[in-house]
């Protein structure tokens, strides 16, 4: 017993144990499973990035609001963790300088955003759950997704389009996560508050899974020809002309479309072997949110 560095009341352990089932469910959503296998369409990856932009914009706005609040202040690491500026770079890469005019917040993402704002303004202690769920996942399984996306979508080796996954000011992710957990455990919270934070973390996972399911439904409507040219607006109910996620007009892929080249390359044994290796690594890293 003397060798243990934590106790059953440590918030980091309560969160890890209390969200394990949610971890497992998130890993087994169809969107995440397809992603890990390298079966991610470029337009869908762009939409996932848009969802992240709106989510982190809300999260970091509320974190800034509560940076001096003792129930959250010890977890305020803007230099090391904040993702909004990185996501803006990704938006510019995928959508161009006028990216703001080409994106909209999806229905599932809006529910997530609304909850984050409510928590930040009315129950700031629960903001801990949302920060933990997002950033610890980004520093863990998110690094696997970065490599899968870079290979599957043939993104530049200089990390354009995946700046979200690049933590320039975190030199050692494992050490930083240990620091973050230590800060979690040092928060002056009673048992009831800790239980509410765990409950909120599970709620955060549910919001993420709803976004995944939404993306999966949209992905099924994407055709190969529309991959590079964009799609009209779609509300998730079958009418592509009403999509809130697409601003580009429907277009056909030009000859020599990179997507078709990628499909052809994916059929080659060597590439299939690489993708299989990615899946194996991902399983070991326990996917998107595994700590």
Give binding residues for heme b as ranges.
Answer: 16, 23, 132, 181
Binding residue positions: 16, 23, 132, 181
How far apart are alpha carbons 91 and 101 in whole angstroms?
11
- Tell which residue, 59, 48, 26, has the closest CA to residue 206: 26
Residue 243 Cα distances to 42, 105, 178, 256, 262, angstroms: 17, 11, 42, 27, 26
Buried b (16+ CB within 10 A) or exposed e, 163-201: bbbebeebeeeeebbeebbebbbebebeeebbebbbebb
Are the beta carbons of 161 and 147 closer than 8 angstroms? no
DSSP state of 236: S
Q: How far is CA 264 from the centre of its chain?
A: 28
Are the beta carbons of 50 and 103 closer than 8 angstroms? yes
Instruction: Name the CA radius of gyration of the chain, rounded.
Output: 19
Residue 163 Cα distances to 90, 92, 107, angstroms: 6, 11, 25
């Amino acid at each position: 017993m003397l060798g243990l560095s934590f106790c059953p009341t440590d918030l980091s352990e309560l969160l890890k144990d209390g969200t394990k089932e949610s971890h497992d469910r998130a890993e087994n959503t169809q969107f995440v499973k397809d992603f890990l296998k390298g079966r991610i369409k470029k337009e869908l990856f762009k939409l996932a990035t848009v969802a992240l932009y709106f989510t982190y914009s809300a999260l970091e706005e509320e974190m800034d609001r509560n940076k001096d609040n003792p129930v959250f202040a010890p977890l305020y690491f803007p230099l090391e963790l904040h993702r909004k500026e990185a996501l803006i770079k990704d938006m510019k890469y995928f959508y161009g300088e006028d990216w703001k005019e080409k994106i909209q917040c999806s229905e599932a993402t809006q529910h997530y955003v609304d909850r984050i704002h409510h928590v930040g303004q009315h129950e700031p202690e629960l903001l801990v759950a949302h920060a933990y769920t997002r950033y610890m996942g980004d520093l863990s399984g998110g690094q696997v997704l970065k490599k899968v996306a870079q290979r599957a979508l043939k993104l530049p080796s200089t990390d354009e389009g995946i700046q979200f996954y690049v933590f320039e000011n975190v030199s050692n992710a494992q050490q930083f996560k240990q620091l973050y957990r230590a800060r979690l455990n040092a928060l002056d919270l009673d048992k009831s508050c800790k239980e509410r934070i765990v409950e909120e973390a599970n709620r955060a996972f549910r919001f993420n899974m709803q976004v995944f399911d939404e993306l999966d439904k949209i992905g099924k409507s994407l055709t190969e020809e529309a991959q590079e040219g964009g799609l009209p607006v779609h509300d998730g109910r079958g009418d592509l002309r009403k999509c809130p996620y697409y601003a580009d007009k429907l277009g056909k892929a030009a000859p020599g479309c990179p997507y078709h080249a990628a499909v052809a390359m994916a059929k080659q044994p060597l590439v299939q072997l690489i993708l299989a290796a990615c899946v194996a690594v991902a399983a070991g890293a326990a996917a998107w949110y595994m700590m």
